[in-house]
Amino acid sequence: MKRRSLMKAAALSAALGLASGAAFAQDAERKIIGVSIPSATHGFMGGLNWHAQDTIKRLGEAYPNLEFVLSTAGDAAKQVNDIEDMMATRNIDGLVVLPFESEPLTAPVKAVKDAGKFVTVVDRGLSQEGIEDLYVAGDNTAFGRVAGEYFRDNLEAGAKVVVLRGIPTTLDNERVEAFQAALEGSDIEILDMQHGNWNRDDAFTVMQDYLSKYPQIDAVWAADDDMAIGVLEAISAANRQDEMWVIGGAGMKEIVRRIMEGDPQLPVNVTYPPALISSAIEMTALNFVSNAPMTGRFIIGSQLITPENAEQFHYPDSPF
Amino acid sequence: MKIDLHTLGPLVALIALVILGAVLNSAFLAPANITNVLARSAFIGMIAVGMTFVITAGGLDLSVGSMAAFLAGVAIIAMNAALPGMGENWGTILIGMGVALLGGLIAGYLNGALITKARIEPFIVTLGTMGIFRSLVTWLADGGTLSLDFGLRTLYRPVYYGGIGWITWPIITFAVVAIAGEWIMRHSRFGRHVEAIGSNDRVARYSAIDVGRIRLMTYMLLGLLVGLAVVLYVPRLGSASGGTGVLWELEAIAAVIIGGTALKGGRGRVWGTVVGVLILSLIDNILNLADLVSPYLNGAIQGVIIVLAVVLQREKRTAEER
């Protein structure tokens, strides 16, 4: 008797197994999208990570047949491993990748594409053209140009400015070249350009040295809001708040709030939204759930945040 | 005379840098610039004094930069949490300071205990805790930045920027730590034991020195000094993030070695470490003040000067040993 019931139990579980298998088969339209981004090592990437998680949560609820795999990598080699793992163990249908570096990621992403998957590349292009189905990026040239134009239009002839640069990369070069181009032909002099590495402490140190070196500074292009925080602190330590204003970039919430409040030291800001990862994930998801064509290049413009429009750029819940 | 040559190596380099700086830019010797350079040296400086003891005892600690970031994060969270109950006063700030110092001691004990009790290589233990502390602060900050409440920040600010005239508190603290460190290394029993263990731990053990305990104490001392550095660091920008204190460990170790402490242990020189720290910050300062080279090459110049400073010293040492 006991034995028979055991058999029954086995049969039942086998049937259940079959049933769940059938359910699985019915759900064959289930699509898996892998998202691979750099880990949150500084403010901007922290914001980007937050927006990625937020978007995935929202899309997962909106489209039950979509599943997302998110991985964050501290360096290019780890990111390559992540992508290989996604292919091997999760059999992804689409990949959204923000390459840590262009060169090392090109071949692994191409392998994903060659396997017939939908590939979205975000922000940093691959070193070979035509691999990705969709390219989503911010506009680095506009980022430098918009800032440069504000300097040109709002400083008097003969004004002197200093610039803090980021980590030496092509992205930083594009921004700085566009900034210089916007100032060309005006009488505004760029006194110095040193690397603050998008880091508060480094920017603080560089700005302290600028302040020792130059008796006259009328404006600072900090080019990043983390650097702007360090710069502002160095200026206030030297008691020269009234002499110069500071333009950061990327729209950190603390800075945007101060612009909303009309802080004279922070007249405007230039966007380079970390939420661009959300655009990329959303568009990739739409590719699987709708008939809307989602291939091509999508460049997100850099806008000027002013006290009048600052409200719409303020994300109080984001860590950035 | 021999001893003089030894000590003079890094000191000559330091004096040469000061002269170079003064020639290149007249703003270099202005009190404001000297205050800036000394104050920003203070964090790495205090950590490097602790590191001198660890290295002299034959150990190593790679976790100090991440530890500083983590302690800064925890101290900020503690102060923000204490704010509603305690109010905006020095009591709240003292809680934050206490958390940083106590946290430093505990973190140092953790490193030291894993090294001396579980007998794992210091390089591996501290490489591990380096990653742990760094991830923890990123996690606590949710990938962003932990910021101290604005009111507290304003109250706390003079701890970094204030002082007696242009000699600000970080400079005073650094000086006290350096003098105390030098005295402990030269004249206390603990200092002599540290050197004995570093030159030959077996002989030290046979001489009835509690090797494990002394080593553990060097890591705890270093942890405490990291905590002290954090106490002075937090009021500067009032924030901590995953990017805080990156590579501080290498700067501290480089300062120790430039100052004439042997990386293999046995010979500690706290004064040398102080000189080493000043050399490192002066290079940065001079490169910023003078447009000598493309900023892309700053790292290369730093590297050359570090290697040169150590090479000079090595030659003198081999000459002496011969």
User: Does a structural domain hold residue A88?
Assistant: yes
- The token pair at B15 is 């004096």
Pseudo-torsion of CA B51, B57, B58, B64, nearest 10°? -20
Q: What average pLDDT does this structure show over A59-69?
A: 91
Query: B27 versus B189: which is more confidently predicted?
Result: B189
User: Does a structural domain hold residue A108?
Assistant: yes
Reported as a single tens digit per residue, the pLDDT across A160-205 is 999 999 887 778 888 999 999 999 989 999 999 999 988 889 999 9
- A161 shares its domain with A232: yes
Is the pTM higher than 0.90? no
Residues of A in contact with B244 (CB under 8 A): 201
User: Does a structural domain hold residue A132?
Assistant: yes
- Position B318 scores a pLDDT of 52
Position B302 confidence tier, pLDDT thresholds 50, 70, 90: confident
Position B297 confidence tier, pLDDT thresholds 50, 70, 90: confident
Position A101 confidence tier, pLDDT thresholds 50, 70, 90: confident
User: Does a structural domain hold residue B16?
Assistant: no
- Position A16 scores a pLDDT of 46
R_g over Cα of chain B: 20
- A222 shares its domain with A149: yes
- A295 shares its domain with A253: no
Distance linking the first and last C-alpha atoms of chain B: 15
- Domain extent, residue B115, equals 41-268
The answer to whether B242 contacts A318, with C-beta atoms less than 8 Å apart, is no
User: Does a structural domain hold residue B35?
Assistant: no
- Position A219 scores a pLDDT of 95
User: Does a structural domain hold residue A228?
Assistant: yes
- Domain extent, residue A197, equals 140-270
Nearest to A212 among B36, B40, B161 (CB): B36
User: Does a structural domain hold residue B23?
Assistant: no
Position A23 confidence tier, pLDDT thresholds 50, 70, 90: very low
Q: What average pLDDT does this structure show over A57-66?
A: 91
The answer to whether A45 contacts B30, with C-beta atoms less than 8 Å apart, is no
Residues of B in contact with A192 (CB under 8 A): 291
Position B290 confidence tier, pLDDT thresholds 50, 70, 90: confident
Q: What average pLDDT does this structure show over A266-274?
A: 89
- Position A171 scores a pLDDT of 81
Residues of A in contact with B33 (CB under 8 A): 209, 212
- A263 shares its domain with A144: yes
Nearest to B289 among A47, A209, A318 (CB): A209
Q: What average pLDDT does this structure show over B285-308?
A: 81
The nearest CA of chain A is from the CA of B239 a distance in Å of: 9
Residues of B in contact with A165 (CB under 8 A): 295
- Position A106 scores a pLDDT of 87
What is the overall mean pLDDT for chain A? Answer: 85
Asked if pLDDT for residue B176 goes beyond 90, the answer is yes
Q: What percentage of chain A exceeds 90 in pLDDT? A: 42
User: Does a structural domain hold residue B276?
Assistant: no
Asked if pLDDT for residue B281 goes beyond 70, the answer is yes
The nearest CA of chain B is from the CA of A252 a distance in Å of: 10
Number of structural domains (chain A) is 2
- A167 shares its domain with A226: yes
User: Does a structural domain hold residue B91?
Assistant: yes
**Cα(B258)–Cα(A69) distance, rounded to whole angstroms?**
47
Q: Which of B71, B209, B95 is nearest to B146 (CA)?
A: B71
Nearest to B33 among A41, A165, A212 (CB): A212
What is the overall mean pLDDT for chain B? Answer: 89
- Position A7 scores a pLDDT of 47
Closest residue on chain A to B33 (Cα) = A212
- Position A19 scores a pLDDT of 44
- A179 shares its domain with A245: yes
| Domain end point (choices A232, A249, A270) | A270
Number of structural domains (chain B) is 1
Query: A27 versus B304: which is more confidently predicted?
Result: B304
- A109 shares its domain with A162: no
Test mutation, B132, B233, B246, chain A, max A CBs within 10 A: B246
User: Does a structural domain hold residue A214?
Assistant: yes
- A115 shares its domain with A173: no
Asked if pLDDT for residue A6 goes beyond 50, the answer is no
Closest residue on chain B to A227 (Cα) = B237
Reported as a single tens digit per residue, the pLDDT across B109-162 is 999 999 999 999 999 999 999 999 999 998 898 777 888 888 898 899 899 988
Position A12 confidence tier, pLDDT thresholds 50, 70, 90: very low
Asked if pLDDT for residue B102 goes beyond 80, the answer is yes
User: Does a structural domain hold residue B217?
Assistant: yes
The answer to whether B144 contacts A43, with C-beta atoms less than 8 Å apart, is yes
Test mutation, A164, A198, A213, chain B, max B CBs within 10 A: A213
Q: What average pLDDT does this structure show over B32-40?
A: 90
- Position B6 scores a pLDDT of 58
Reported as a single tens digit per residue, the pLDDT across B209-237 is 999 999 999 999 999 999 999 999 999 98
User: Does a structural domain hold residue A314?
Assistant: no
- Position A15 scores a pLDDT of 47
The answer to whether B32 contacts A212, with C-beta atoms less than 8 Å apart, is yes
Residues of A in contact with B40 (CB under 8 A): 205, 208
User: Does a structural domain hold residue A182?
Assistant: yes
Position A90 confidence tier, pLDDT thresholds 50, 70, 90: confident
Position B265 confidence tier, pLDDT thresholds 50, 70, 90: confident
- A263 shares its domain with A194: yes
Closest residue on chain B to A254 (Cα) = B147
- A148 shares its domain with A261: yes
| Domain end point (choices A270, A285, A314) | A270
Residues of B in contact with A43 (CB under 8 A): 144-145, 241, 243
- A180 shares its domain with A123: no
- A89 shares its domain with A145: no
User: Does a structural domain hold residue A306?
Assistant: no
- Position A20 scores a pLDDT of 44
Asked if pLDDT for residue B170 goes beyond 50, the answer is yes
Asked if pLDDT for residue A22 goes beyond 70, the answer is no
Q: What average pLDDT does this structure show over B234-251?
A: 89
